[in-house]
Amino acid sequence: MRLIILGPPGAGKGTQSEFIVEHTGALHLSTGDIFRENIKNGTPLGKRAKEYMDRGALVPDEVVNDIVTDRIKSMGPEGSFLLDGFPRTVNQAVALDGALEEIGVTLDCVININVDKEALIQRIVGRRVCPTCGKSYHVTHFPPKVDGVCDDDGTQLIQRDDDQEETVRHRIDVYERQTTPLIDYYKAQDNLVDIDGNQSVQEVKDRILAALQGVQRA
Ligand code: ADP
Ligand code: ADP
């Protein structure tokens, strides 16, 4: 399947992506994870991205677009993927459409998760992530089995540098200004599915998987 998961910072995209890839076998492509991996490895891309990420700004489209479109094109028409954190601007969505057109395919579904703003802030401030596999936890809403340690690989969890309240508020503003136009963009393509993300992790998962069943049957 060719999927996008859309929603503001803290909506639960990363958390739900794990369930979606388990269910569909799609490859999880998270631009945030790609940047964090590059920062960890000290690459030129990582250095460039960090300047923007630390202040909660978007990395410029010309840096992001090729990374994603090259991967999509290299997968070819049989590629099955879930894009998480991309596209984030209309320009990125247009670049993605160009790549899909080149390989002769279209998107199957854009899952749009909606969550109230104050809940987003609470979620992000309490977020802890695994620096090895990228899995997200929450200190109270979604804790690991053993305090402070990743369930999957035992790595010590950390707080992301950009998960401070002030940066988070700015990232949410950036989302509202630059990314919400994508909701109408994908509505016009008739493949947007709205999901109420204010529910528990399990309830949101059930709703998304039910929505995807409908897509698979279509
Ligand atoms: P995103 O990738 O959209 O930024 P994450 O999946 O990392 O969001 O989730 C943000 C934080 O909120 C994490 O701490 C996660 O454990 C927590 N979280 C995710 N989904 C829910 C939910 N449905 N209810 C409460 N907390 C959640
Ligand atoms: P969240 O879901 O919490 O916003 P992400 O991990 O998706 O976090 O992104 C973290 C940061 O990486 C963003 O604030 C932004 O600086 C950068 N980033 C990730 N994806 C993109 C993108 N598609 N375009 C521009 N910047 C991006």
What residues line ligand 1, using a CB cutoff of 6 Å? 7, 9-15, 123-124, 126-127, 136-138, 141-142, 200-201, 204
pLDDT at residue 215 in the model: 83
pLDDT (tens digit per residue) in 17-74: 999 999 999 999 999 999 999 999 999 999 999 999 999 999 999 999 999 999 999 9
Radius of gyration of the chain (CA): 17
Q: Ligand 2 pocket: which of 15, 59, 66 to mutate (most atoms <8 Å of CB)?
A: 59
- Please report which ligand is nearest the Cα atom of 162: 2
Least confident of 79-83, 123-127, 198-202, 210-214: 210-214
Arithmetic mean of pLDDT, 131-147: 94
The finding on whether 53 has its CB within 6 A of some atom of ligand 2 is: yes
Distance of alpha carbon 81 from alpha carbon 115, whole angstroms: 24
pLDDT at residue 216 in the model: 65
Other residues' Cβ atoms within 10 Å of the Cβ of residue 102: 12
Residue 62 makes CB contacts below 8 A (sequence gap 6+) with none
Mean pLDDT of the chain: 95
For 41-69, give one letter per residue: b (16+ CB within 10 A) or e.
Answer: eeeebbebbbeebeebebbebeebbebbb
The catalytic site residues sit at: 13, 88, 127, 160, 171
Is residue 118's pLDDT more than 70?
yes
Residue 44 makes CB contacts below 8 A (sequence gap 6+) with none
pLDDT at residue 217 in the model: 55
One-letter amino acid for residue 87 of the chain? P
Report pTM: 0.96
Q: Could you tell me the distance, in angstroms and rounded to a whole number, from the CA of residue 200 to the centre of ligand 1?
A: 10
The finding on whether 138 has its CB within 6 A of some atom of ligand 2 is: no
Greater model confidence, 199 or 216: 199
pLDDT at residue 218 in the model: 52
Q: Could you tell me the distance, in angstroms and rounded to a whole number, from the CA of residue 218 to the centre of ligand 2?
A: 31
Distance of alpha carbon 10 from alpha carbon 52, whole angstroms: 18
Residue whose Cα lies nearest atom 23 of ligand 1: it is 201
Element (H, E) at 4: strand 2-6
One-letter amino acid for residue 128 of the chain? R
**Any idea of the CA torsion for 202, 19, 33, 60, to the nearest 10 degrees?**
-80
